[in-house]
């Protein structure tokens, strides 16, 4: 850090409540001019909430926020911008059909008299900013024609055009390849030299070593600690992130012996998302898929299910090679997929419970001339409502009126009715409250006990640890390892595999 160490940001005792959630519990964070301060934590640790407080999207309930020594309470992102705080969101928010310069000055376009736009000034000022970043980019290029990396540069330029002294970057490298990441780091170092303070949110451990000066770790909305990036082993940072003891009741991994292998996937690849993924699952087994967001777990599930086309890979169901080109083929082979986004991919929420349960099995209830036997649909639906304990006033209740947990059970019923014996659950408890979670867990265990094959994708490590007989870990489209379930595996073990970006990383990560 430079000799003139001015505290740009000083947050102490920050509290933030949402209805039913204590999102930030007396959190502290500070940032000096000319440093890169990494903010780490699992999904839901409160990193984004903290940064939203800093950037004026949320207002704090308690604590103090000082910017350059003066107490500040930005009420809107605009006010935060005026205080010199710029944020680059994970999802780029650029308009693809406008030019680079138009994007950067959106909402404050230079004007001539009578409200006419001054395009000459617009492009000139954009060129100036690029020059200061030492970046060669045409202000008149359409944003949509640029690579993601270049678009990110435009976002950074936009933030700088507000004369930002603080730049918050939320997972800036999520969509970049190695060369592009190197490019980004050059820009970041240059900004550092100019005294800009950078908050760097990332899950990628190896990047911390390359770019960060200090690391602050958060967990469950609490401040865990701040350490020096260069001197702290990665394993220690992971331990700080994971921290808590979660396995209340130790999972009993059943001995499946030589139970039939019901699903075998080999060499599954799909463009940039999935690289050569191979694994197999036994009858009665729960295989967990762990990994950080964007690791490619959902993509694997969708490719197996035929929802997205795959480039290569063989799938054997109960030992038989099976060609799956569409969800129809998968369902015929007895594979059911329960998407993380039930409202978009799982349920026809405007329809009633019984029709949703029957959605995959209409042919079972179709008589001659395509006439449906509604009575039979109702009987079947009611039996599942009873069996799974779906809380609904009746089988003709519209699904959108049910709670998240009960909606999930409706989707489960849909696949059970279809007689699927391989079930892929993608984030089975997302949007489901704590009480209903354990009910879903029990249900999954029962299903496995009945000889169903279960694959569970989850971003919540405790959930993975709680359920999985074996744990497959993915990172950036590759399967980086399969760990045994139960007490032999720790969250640290999983995190190591989940952040194993490159071979070099593996060395850094395990050499401690």
Partner 1 sequence: MTTATDIDKKKPLAGLSESGAYQKLLAFASLIALLIGFSIASPNFMQTSNMIAILQATSVNGVLAVAATLIIITGGIDLSLGTMMTFCAVIAGVVLTYLGMPLLLGVAAAIGAGALCGLCSGTFVAKMKIPPFIATLGMMLILKGLSLVISGTRPIYFNDTPGFDQISRGSLIGEVFPALPIPNGVLILFLVAIAASYILGRTVLGRYTFALGSNEEAVRLSGVNTDLWKMRIYALAGAICGIAGILIASRLNSAQPALGLGYELEAIAAVVIGGTSLSGGRGTILGTLIGALIMAVLTNGLRVLSVAQEWQTVVTGAIIILAVYADMARRKKSG
- The CB density around residue 243, as the number of other CB atoms within 10 Å, is 17
Q: CA-to-CA distance for 98 and 145, rounded, in angstroms?
A: 10
Given the complex with partner 1, which of 371 and 511 has the nearer CB atom? Answer: 371
Nearest-approach distance from CB 205 to partner 1, in angstroms: 35
Given the complex with partner 1, which of 92 and 359 has the nearer CB atom? Answer: 359
Ramachandran area for residue 316 (φ above 0: left; ψ -120 to 50: alpha; else beta)? beta
Supply the angle between the helices 374-388 and 404-417 in degrees, to the nearest 10. Answer: 120
Q: CA-to-CA distance for 280 and 260, rounded, in angstroms?
A: 10
Instruction: Answer whether 66's CB lies under 8 Å from 72's CB.
Output: yes
Please return the burial class of 403, using the count of CB atoms within 10 Å of its CB with bins 0-12, 13-18 and 19+: middle
Given the complex with partner 1, which of 216 and 352 has the nearer CB atom? Answer: 352
- Candidates 204, 217, 209; CA nearest to 292 is 204
Nearest-approach distance from CB 424 to partner 1, in angstroms: 11
Given the complex with partner 1, which of 40 and 360 has the nearer CB atom? Answer: 360
Nearest-approach distance from CB 399 to partner 1, in angstroms: 9
Q: CA-to-CA distance for 188 and 341, rounded, in angstroms?
A: 35
Given the complex with partner 1, which of 226 and 349 has the nearer CB atom? Answer: 349
Kindly tell me which residue out of 124, 362, 504, 507 binds partner 1, with binding defined by CB under 8 A.
362
Kindly tell me which residue out of 162, 279, 345, 441 binds partner 1, with binding defined by CB under 8 A.
345
Q: CA-to-CA distance for 37 and 259, rounded, in angstroms?
A: 50
Q: CA-to-CA distance for 11 and 66, rounded, in angstroms?
A: 6
Q: CA-to-CA distance for 57 and 67, rounded, in angstroms?
A: 16
Ramachandran area for residue 257 (φ above 0: left; ψ -120 to 50: alpha; else beta)? left
Q: Would you count residue 331 as binding partner 1 (CB under 8 A)?
A: yes
Q: CA-to-CA distance for 159 and 161, rounded, in angstroms?
A: 5
- Write out the DSSP string of 39-75: EE--TTSSHHHHHHHHTTSS--SEEEEEETTEE----
- Write out the DSSP string of 109-148: --B-GGG-B-HHHHHHHHHHHHHHTT----TTSBGGGS-H
Q: Would you count residue 374 as binding partner 1 (CB under 8 A)?
A: yes
Nearest-approach distance from CB 386 to partner 1, in angstroms: 6
Which one of the spans 37-45, 198-206, 262-270, 320-328 is the region binding partner 1 (CB under 8 A)?
320-328
Which one of the spans 42-50, 223-231, 352-360, 491-499 is the region binding partner 1 (CB under 8 A)?
352-360
Given the complex with partner 1, which of 74 and 346 has the nearer CB atom? Answer: 346
Given the complex with partner 1, which of 147 and 394 has the nearer CB atom? Answer: 394
Given the complex with partner 1, which of 201 and 330 has the nearer CB atom? Answer: 330
Q: Would you count residue 449 as binding partner 1 (CB under 8 A)?
A: no
Which one of the spans 26-34, 113-121, 266-274, 371-379 is the region binding partner 1 (CB under 8 A)?
371-379
Which one of the spans 36-44, 129-137, 219-227, 389-397 is the region binding partner 1 (CB under 8 A)?
389-397
Q: Would you count residue 330 as binding partner 1 (CB under 8 A)?
A: yes
Nearest-approach distance from CB 384 to partner 1, in angstroms: 9
Whole-angstrom CA distances from 441 to 94, 343, 432, 484 are 40, 21, 12, 19
What is the token pair recorded at 81?
A: 């911008």
Q: Would you count residue 357 as binding partner 1 (CB under 8 A)?
A: no
Q: Would you count residue 435 as binding partner 1 (CB under 8 A)?
A: no
Kindly tell me which residue out of 344, 435, 511, 512 binds partner 1, with binding defined by CB under 8 A.
344
Nearest-approach distance from CB 295 to partner 1, in angstroms: 21
Instruction: Answer whether 433's CB lies under 8 Å from 445's CB.
Output: no
- The CB density around residue 247, as the number of other CB atoms within 10 Å, is 13
Contact letters for partner 1, residues 155-174 (x by CB under 8 A) = --------------------
Kindly tell me which residue out of 60, 165, 414, 469 binds partner 1, with binding defined by CB under 8 A.
414
Q: Would you count residue 390 as binding partner 1 (CB under 8 A)?
A: yes
Pairing mode of beta strands 7-18, 62-67: antiparallel
Q: CA-to-CA distance for 140 and 159, rounded, in angstroms?
A: 18
What is the token pair recorded at 351?
A: 């329809």
Nearest-approach distance from CB 317 to partner 1, in angstroms: 14
What is the token pair recorded at 420?
A: 């699927």
Contact letters for partner 1, residues 290-319 (x by CB under 8 A) = ---------------x-x------------
Kindly tell me which residue out of 35, 206, 213, 355 binds partner 1, with binding defined by CB under 8 A.
355
Q: Would you count residue 438 as binding partner 1 (CB under 8 A)?
A: no
Kindly tell me which residue out of 313, 346, 405, 509 binds partner 1, with binding defined by CB under 8 A.
346
> Coil, strand or helix: which one is 34?
coil
Q: Would you count residue 393 as binding partner 1 (CB under 8 A)?
A: yes
Given the complex with partner 1, which of 26 and 438 has the nearer CB atom? Answer: 438
Q: CA-to-CA distance for 313 and 278, rounded, in angstroms?
A: 8
Given the complex with partner 1, which of 420 and 444 has the nearer CB atom? Answer: 420
Kindly tell me which residue out of 337, 425, 429, 443 binds partner 1, with binding defined by CB under 8 A.
337
Binding residues vs partner 1 (CB under 8 A)? 305, 307, 326-328, 330-332, 337, 339, 343-351, 355, 359-360, 362-363, 366, 369-372, 374, 378, 382, 385-386, 389-396, 414, 418
């Amino acid at each position: 850090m430079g000799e003139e160490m001015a505290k740009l940001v000083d947050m102490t005792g920050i509290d933030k409540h949402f209805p039913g959630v204590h999102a930030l519990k007396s959190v502290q964070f500070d940032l000096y001019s000319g440093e890169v301060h990494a903010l780490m934590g699992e999904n839901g640790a409160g990193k984004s909430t903290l940064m939203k407080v800093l950037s004026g999207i949320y207002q704090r309930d308690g604590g103090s926020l000082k910017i350059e020594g003066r107490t500040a309470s930005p009420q809107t992102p605009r006010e935060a911008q005026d205080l010199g705080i710029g944020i680059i969101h994970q999802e780029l928010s650029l308009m693809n059909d406008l030019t680079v310069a138009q994007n950067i000055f959106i909402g404050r376009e230079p004007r001539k008299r009578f409200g006419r736009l001054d395009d000459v000034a617009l492009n000139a000022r954009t060129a100036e900013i690029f020059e200061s970043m030492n970046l060669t980019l045409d202000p008149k290029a359409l944003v949509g024609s640029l690579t993601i990396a270049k678009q990110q540069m435009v976002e950074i330029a936009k933030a700088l055009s507000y004369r930002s002294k603080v730049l918050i970057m939320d997972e800036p490298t999520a969509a970049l390849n190695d060369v592009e990441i190197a490019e980004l780091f050059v820009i970041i170092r240059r900004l550092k030299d100019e005294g800009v303070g950078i908050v760097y949110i990332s899950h990628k451990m190896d990047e911390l070593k390359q770019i960060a000066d200090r690391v602050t770790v958060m967990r469950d909305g609490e401040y865990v600690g701040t350490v020096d990036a260069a001197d702290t082993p990665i394993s220690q940072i992971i331990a700080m992130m994971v921290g808590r003891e979660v396995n209340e009741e130790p999972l009993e991994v059943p001995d499946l012996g030589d139970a039939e292998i019901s699903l075998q996937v080999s060499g599954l690849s799909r463009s940039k998302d999935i690289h050569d993924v191979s694994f197999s699952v036994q009858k009665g087994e729960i295989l967990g898929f762990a990994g950080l967001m964007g690791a490619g777990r959902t993509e694997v599930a969708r490719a197996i299910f035929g929802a997205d086309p795959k480039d290569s890979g063989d799938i054997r169901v109960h030992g038989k090679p099976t060609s799956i080109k569409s969800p129809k083929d998968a369902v015929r082979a007895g594979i059911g997929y329960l998407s993380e986004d039930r409202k978009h991919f799982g349920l026809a929420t405007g329809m009633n419970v019984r029709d949703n349960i029957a959605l995959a099995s209409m042919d079972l209830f179709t008589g001659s001339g395509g006439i449906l036997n509604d009575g039979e649909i109702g009987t079947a639906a009611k039996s599942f409502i009873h069996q799974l304990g779906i809380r609904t006033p009746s089988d003709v209740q519209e699904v959108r009126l049910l709670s998240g947990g009960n909606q999930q059970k409706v989707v489960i019923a849909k696949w059970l009715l279809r007689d699927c014996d391989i079930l892929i659950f993608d984030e089975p408890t997302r949007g489901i409250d704590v009480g209903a979670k354990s009910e879903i867990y029990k249900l999954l265990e029962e299903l496995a006990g009945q000889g169903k094959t279960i694959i569970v994708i989850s971003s919540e490590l405790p959930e993975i640890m709680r359920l999985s007989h074996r744990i497959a870990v993915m990172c950036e489209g590759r399967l980086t390892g399969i760990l045994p379930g139960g007490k032999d595996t720790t969250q640290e073990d999983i995190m190591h595999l989940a952040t194993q970006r490159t071979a070099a990383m593996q060395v850094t990560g395990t050499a401690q």
